[in-house]
């Protein structure tokens, strides 16, 4: 029997229950994503207990639908790939348990996948199997991450820099809240920013301080706490002791949204380009939910081009959590024999 | 009975040093209930506390996972109740067990989830004293500083507060009213 190259991927690390079938790492045969957003909306964000229970309710239907849409029987798969870390432990365990039982029942290889590696793989999928993206600098930017990595292989990311405080997506959430916009803040701030002037206010772009008495270049890194505070003081009329006005009394809301977004994007762009220079790579891979942000896509693409680099983003559907990236990355991992047995466990970090 | 100390922190570094000193004195199950407006230094406080507990991992925001734990001299459990509905649901669903798991807990925006916090706790309130300026590079410039109110609720926290020696950059608040 000729071995197929079809991998079933399962993702349940946060608040999306997802399954997909991908052939050979790149060819998407099916992708099913069940979002729990509605269930968490009234809490203003993901509640782990609720997420775990919801995954349990939906996972079988989602996996069956992914197999059906791909027209594939479990016996025809080459392997089952599943997110094992990082994420909410009660959510991860649901996907891991289902993947284990499918692997056991059909005697399939079980492939553990690191969620962040998979997000970066989503960007490389845009290039197709003929272009090697490595080595590259990867920017992973979402509600939980703002990190730069040296990306050397599909499952090899070495940290270069991270955030001192909030993740970029979180800064969007907090500014959205100040401006009376909905959760998640990324899309709602970006939509309001469309109507505003990004140069209306000069909000700070964080750069790490140079090490005193050291001729070495400035360290790389992110911080969004000062920016968030600057936006708050602006809204309060530069008086920290004044109360925060209700959103409908903030006259320049759109300009604030646009200027804030510009500051976040500029900080992400400058640190990423600088990291690529220092690493001597030609490619920048961008991944995570904030990679959907159109302003980031356009400014980073332009800045990369001007610097003689190429920036690659996942297609918008694969920026947020999905199982295509899990099934996709499963292929090279299977090829490299990076498999697990049925004692496979999940880990929050 | 509560013991209260009203202080002034003259810089972010001083706030961190104060928290570090408190971290060094912390015993198992000490709960720090942290409150303060955006930009008053809650994250800096938590960073200092981690240092005082010999945590080597960098401290980042726990908003996404609702609680981060860090290994140290005592385990540090870092909560953030900014999204109060989520944090309340989390504490209700078993997360509150971490408040008495033998480590040290710090809860940002604590007043939003007071119902879940133990009666014995050290309340830390950070207040603006003026409007700081944020420079081009996103660094908050030295300013009028912050008022830091430490309120010990219960015998354990009172003992902790009694043992505190103020680090450089921290002084007693001359105006009891602020």
Structure tokens at B20: 């570090």
Structure tokens at A335: 């090829």
Share of chain B above pLDDT 70, in %: 93
For residue A192, is pLDDT > 50? Answer: yes
> Between these two residues, A156 and A241, which has the higher pLDDT value?
A156
Mean pLDDT of A240-256: 90
DSSP state of A78: S
**Block residue for tokens 């090829």:** A335
DSSP state of A197: -
Q: Is the ipTM of this complex over 0.95?
A: no
Nearest residue of B to residue A166, measured between CA atoms: B61
Residues 6+ apart with CB under 8 A from A331: A5, A7, A22, A24, A25, A26
Confidence band of B30 (pLDDT split at 50, 70, 90): very high
Confidence band of A244 (pLDDT split at 50, 70, 90): confident
Cα–Cα distance for residue pair A332/A58, rounded to 1 Å:
28
DSSP state of A30: E
User: Which residues of chain B neighbour A144 with C-beta distances below 8 Å?
Assistant: 64-65
A88 — contact with chain B (CB < 8 Å)? yes
Domain ranges of chain A: 3-123+320-335, 134-313
> Between these two residues, A4 and A116, which has the higher pLDDT value?
A116
Instruction: Indicate the average pLDDT of chain A.
Output: 94
> Between these two residues, A150 and B41, which has the higher pLDDT value?
A150
For residue B1, is pLDDT > 60? Answer: no
pLDDT, position B2: 66
pLDDT, position B140: 65
B65 — contact with chain A (CB < 8 Å)? yes
Q: Topology of A134-313 in CATH?
A: Nucleotidyltransferase; domain 5 (3.30.420)
pLDDT, position B108: 93
Q: Å from B30 to nearest chain A CA?
A: 24
Domain A3-123+320-335 has CATH 3.30.420.40: yes
Mean pLDDT of B148-152: 97
Q: In what order do the strands lie in the sheet with A283-287?
A: A156-161, A146-153, A136-141, A283-287, A310-312
For the stretch A277-306, pLDDT in tens is: 999 999 999 999 999 999 999 999 999 999
Q: Å from A23 to nearest chain B CA?
A: 33
For the stretch B53-96, pLDDT in tens is: 999 988 887 876 778 889 999 999 999 888 778 888 888 878 88
Q: Å from B130 to nearest chain A CA?
A: 6
User: Which residues of chain B neighbour A228 with C-beta distances below 8 Å?
Assistant: 38-39
Which residue in the set A42, A165, A226 is minimally distant from B134, CB to CB?
A: A226
For residue B178, is pLDDT > 50? Answer: no
Q: Å from A86 to nearest chain B CA?
A: 10
Confidence band of A3 (pLDDT split at 50, 70, 90): low
Structure tokens at B34: 């942290």
A163 — contact with chain B (CB < 8 Å)? yes
Confidence band of B119 (pLDDT split at 50, 70, 90): very high
Stretch (H or E) spanning A99: helix A89-105
Cα–Cα distance for residue pair A87/B74, rounded to 1 Å:
24
pLDDT, position B177: 46
Confidence band of A1 (pLDDT split at 50, 70, 90): very low
Confidence band of A239 (pLDDT split at 50, 70, 90): confident
Are domains A3-123+320-335 and A134-313 of this chain identical in fold?
A: yes
Mean pLDDT of B8-37: 95
Nearest residue of B to residue A202, measured between CA atoms: B136
Contact of A259 with A201, CB cutoff 8 Å: yes
- CB within 8 Å: B135 and A204: yes
Mean pLDDT of B109-135: 89
Residue A68: CB atoms within 10 Å: 13
For the stretch A57-69, pLDDT in tens is: 999 999 999 999 9
User: Which residues of chain B neighbour A201 with C-beta distances below 8 Å?
Assistant: none
């Amino acid at each position: 029997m000729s071995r197929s190259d079809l991998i079933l991927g399962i993702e349940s690390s946060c608040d999306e229950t997802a399954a997909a079938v991908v052939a050979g790492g790149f060819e998407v045969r099916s992708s099913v994503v069940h979002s729990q957003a509605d269930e968490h909306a009234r809490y203003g964000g993901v509640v782990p207990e609720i997420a775990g229970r919801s995954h349990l309710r939906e996972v079988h239907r989602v996996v069956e639908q992914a197999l059906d849409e791909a027209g594939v029987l479990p016996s025809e798969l080459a392997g089952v790939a599943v997110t094992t870390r990082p994420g909410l432990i009660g959510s991860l365990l649901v996907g891991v348990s289902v993947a284990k039982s499918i692997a056991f029942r059909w005697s399939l290889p079980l492939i553990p996948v690191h969620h962040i590696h998979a997000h970066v793989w989503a960007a490389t999928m845009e290039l197709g199997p003929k272009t090697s993206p490595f080595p590259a600098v990867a920017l992973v930017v979402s509600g939980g991450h703002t990190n730069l990595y040296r990306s050397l292989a599909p499952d090899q990311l070495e940290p270069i820099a991270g955030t001192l405080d909030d993740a970029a997506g979180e800064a969007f959430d907090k500014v959205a809240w100040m401006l009376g916009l909905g959760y998640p803040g990324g899309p709602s701030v970006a939509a309001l920013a469309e109507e505003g002037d990004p140069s209306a206010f000069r909000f700070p772009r964080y750069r790490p301080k140079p090490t005193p008495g050291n001729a070495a270049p400035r360290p790389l890194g992110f911080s969004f706490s000062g920016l968030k505070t600057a936006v708050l003081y602006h809204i309060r009329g530069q008086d920290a002791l004044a109360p925060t006005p209700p959103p409908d009394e903030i006259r320049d809301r759109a300009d604030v949204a646009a200027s804030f977004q510009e500051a976040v994007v500029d900080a992400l762009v400058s640190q990423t380009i600088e990291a690529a220079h220092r690493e001597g790579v030609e490619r920048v891979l961008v991944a995570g939910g904030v990679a959907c942000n159109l302003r980031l896509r356009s400014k980073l693409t332009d800045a990369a081009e001007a610097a003689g680099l190429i920036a690659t983003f996942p297609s918008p559907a694969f920026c947020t959590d999905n199982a295509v990236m899990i099934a996709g990355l499963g292929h090279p991992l299977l090829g490299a024999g990076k498999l697990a047995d049925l004692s496979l466990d999940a880990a929050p970090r | 009975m509560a013991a209260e100390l009203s202080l002034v922190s003259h810089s972010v570094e001083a706030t961190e040093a104060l928290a570090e000193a408190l971290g060094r004195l912390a015993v198992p199950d000490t709960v720090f209930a942290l409150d303060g407006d955006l930009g008053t230094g809650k994250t800096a406080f938590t960073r200092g506390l981690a240092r005082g507990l010999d945590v080597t991992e960098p401290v980042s925001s726990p908003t996404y996972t609702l609680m981060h734990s860090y290994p140290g001299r005592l385990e540090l459990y870092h909560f953030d109740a900014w999204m109060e509905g989520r944090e309340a649901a989390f504490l209700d669903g078993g997360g509150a067990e971490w408040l008495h798991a033998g480590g040290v807990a710090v809860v940002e925006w604590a007043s939003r989830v007071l119902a879940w916090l133990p009666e014995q706790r050290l309340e830390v309130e950070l207040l603006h004293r003026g409007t700081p300026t944020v420079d081009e590079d996103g660094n908050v410039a030295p300013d009028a500083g912050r008022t830091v109110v430490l309120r010990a609720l219960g015998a354990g926290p009172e003992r902790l507060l009694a043992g505190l020696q103020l680090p450089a950059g921290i002084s007693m608040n001359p105006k009891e009213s602020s």
